[in-house]
Amino acid sequence: MAAVVAATALKGRGARNARVLRGILSGATANKASQNRTRALQSHSSPECKEEPEPLSPELEYIPRKRGKNPMKAVGLAWYSLYTRTWLGYLFYRQQLRRARNRYPKGHSRTQPRLFNDNYSYLIIDTHARLAVAVDPSDPQAVQASIEKEGVNLVAILCTHKHWDHSGGNRDLSRWHQDCRVYGSPQDGIPYLTHPLCHQDVVSVGRLQIQALATPGHTQGHLVYLLDGEPYKGPSCLFSGDLLFLSGCGRTFEGTAETMLSSLDTVLGLGDDTLLWPGHEYAEENLGFAGVVEPENLARERKMQWVQRQRMERKSTCPSTLGEERSYNPFLRTHCLVLQEALGPGPGPTGDDSCSRAQLLEKLRQLKDLHKSK
């Protein structure tokens, strides 16, 4: 299911000039009350609090949702090559898309409907120039519906990587919008790519300044995109694709643990107030796994309580902040002694700490692949 996120994240954090972020999770109805959006963001923005998490209300029963089949889970090299390098993968993506539309005709969430699996797509809008940028358009029909609702002109598509659930909408949107440019890494074989990007290249659309950062590991040419929030007096926004999720990270399909660690450290170098807009809604499962490897982490427990309430109301869990993620995301905590003692192999024979962190990251990823949320 594709999804659509909070409509005015920057305004909710104090932007004065314009609403620049429209989360479109496929076909969406944007939140109607910006005050509600602001309260939602503020309610989980202080991970350093020391109080115990509040239990769920006794009249509410939490039932974890059953996730759809992940086409990339437990795949062999042959299937992965077919999925990513041939039109068989695209046809498989189209079949999934049809099934998702039939299964979820009214979307996944009340205020942020989703249509394709658990993907997020985003629409970033310069409201002054009425120009829009789509990020990872998984369902082109849903993206187009949001473009028409907002009354904007789509001029760019930013793809984090080549997988069809992130790039499958490129063909149709490029045909419907003749002047639309498609950005991404030339190393990744992005379909319908027109404008290749390298590390730290900047895409300018109206007043929007969006920097591409090379973060290989999930795929060889994976990019994340950083929207500069300074012109709007708000936090920056990180569109992380399949590199980083709420309390999780992507699988290392085309790299090593050392490569993925370097990419995660690139993100860790950004400010704590940076808003994280990931490529998938994996919050419940990821936080459940984090509780297995670090059961006494109160920040994780508080976040899980909040996420459960969000999902019971069929609301998105985006965005979190990088400051929050540092407090409970185990894949960003490989430097923490508690995880190193519990899972890590210890420093290598030369005392190289980065080596031991990479080994710990690899161990965490292996455990996560075997983990099943209860």
Alpha-carbon distances, residue 328 vs 127, 167, 258, 262, 271 (angstroms): 35, 30, 21, 19, 16
280 is catalytic: yes
Backbone angles phi, psi at 141, to 5 degrees: -65, -40
| Among 166, 177, 188, 222, the one annotated catalytic | 166
Taking the C-alpha atoms of residue 240 and residue 212, their distance in angstroms, rounded to an integer, is 10
| Among 163, 177, 188, 222, the one annotated catalytic | 163
| Among 161, 177, 188, 222, the one annotated catalytic | 161
118 is catalytic: no
Taking the C-alpha atoms of residue 126 and residue 7, their distance in angstroms, rounded to an integer, is 13
242 is catalytic: yes
* Vertex 331 angle, CA 243 and 244, to 5°: 20
Q: What are the strands, taking DSSP E only, across the chain?
A: 21-23, 122-126, 131-135, 153-158, 181-184, 195-196, 202-205, 208-214, 223-227, 237-241, 244-245, 248-249, 275-278, 320-321
Q: Assess contact for 231 and 269: CB atoms under 8 A.
A: no
165 is catalytic: yes
What number of other Cβ atoms are within 10 A of residue 242's Cβ?
28
Query: Shortest CA distance to 151 belongs to which of 125, 170, 178?
Result: 125
108 is catalytic: no
Quickly tell me which residue has 């496929």 as its tokens. 26
188 is catalytic: no
Taking the C-alpha atoms of residue 84 and residue 341, their distance in angstroms, rounded to an integer, is 38
Handedness of CA 258, 261, 263, 265 (dihedral sign): negative
What number of other Cβ atoms are within 10 A of residue 201's Cβ?
16
166 is catalytic: yes
| Among 44, 177, 218, 222, the one annotated catalytic | 218
Taking the C-alpha atoms of residue 222 and residue 244, their distance in angstroms, rounded to an integer, is 11
Q: Assess contact for 234 and 269: CB atoms under 8 A.
A: no
| Among 165, 177, 188, 222, the one annotated catalytic | 165
Cα pseudo-dihedral 365, 367, 369, 371, rounded to 10: -140
Contacts of 93 (CB under 8 A, 6+ apart): 164, 165, 168
Active site residues: 161, 163, 165-166, 218, 242, 280
